[in-house]
């Protein structure tokens, strides 16, 4: 990235290091992605995926200091974060996640941080979760600041 290789901020989402890694990521992406893309359209979905990839990959790079990571997990955590935040701040929008789904995603985040499942790009997960949560708060902030409902 220091040499102008800015594509490295996006391309890790296309790299996976095992069959289970890509299967888990694609199943999760499909679960959250289908719901959100149908609701908001492909353009919005692409914007969320790209900004989430940038945020999660940049967070991981800054944390680890090395570009040797990959996976769609940061984006998946962003989509989860969006759905979770939006469900709490805009319950009539239909994004309420079951408590066991929230528990599972957060438990997996913590389990990965323990190191017991191998080397994981934990900072990417957290960066994606934060970026998705921020996306999910935009409608609430708009209503609070502009008084729009």
| Active-site residue list | 73, 125
* CA 148 – CA 139 distance, rounded (Å): 9
List all residues 6 or more positions away from 44 whose beta carbon is below 8 Å from its beta carbon. Answer: 36, 37
* CA 118 – CA 136 distance, rounded (Å): 30
Residue 25: both structure tokens together: 């990521």
- Shortest CA distance to 61 belongs to which of 18, 17, 8, 21? 8
* CA 50 – CA 68 distance, rounded (Å): 19
């Amino acid at each position: 990235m220091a040499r102008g290789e800015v594509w490295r901020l996006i391309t890790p989402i296309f790299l996976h290091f095992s069959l289970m890694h890509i299967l888990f990521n694609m199943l999760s992406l499909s679960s959250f992605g289908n719901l959100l893309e149908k609701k908001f359209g492909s353009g919005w979905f692409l914007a969320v995926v790209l900004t989430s990839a940038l945020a999660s990959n940049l967070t991981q790079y800054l944390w680890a200091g090395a570009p040797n990571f990959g996976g769609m997990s940061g984006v998946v955590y962003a989509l989860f974060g969006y759905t979770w935040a939006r469900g709490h701040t805009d319950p009539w929008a239909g994004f309420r996640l079951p408590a066991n789904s929230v528990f599972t995603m957060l438990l997996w985040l913590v389990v990965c941080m323990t190191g017991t499942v191998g080397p994981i790009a934990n900072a990417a997960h957290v960066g994606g979760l934060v970026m998705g949560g921020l996306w999910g708060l935009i409608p609430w902030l708009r209503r609070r600041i502009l008084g729009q409902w």
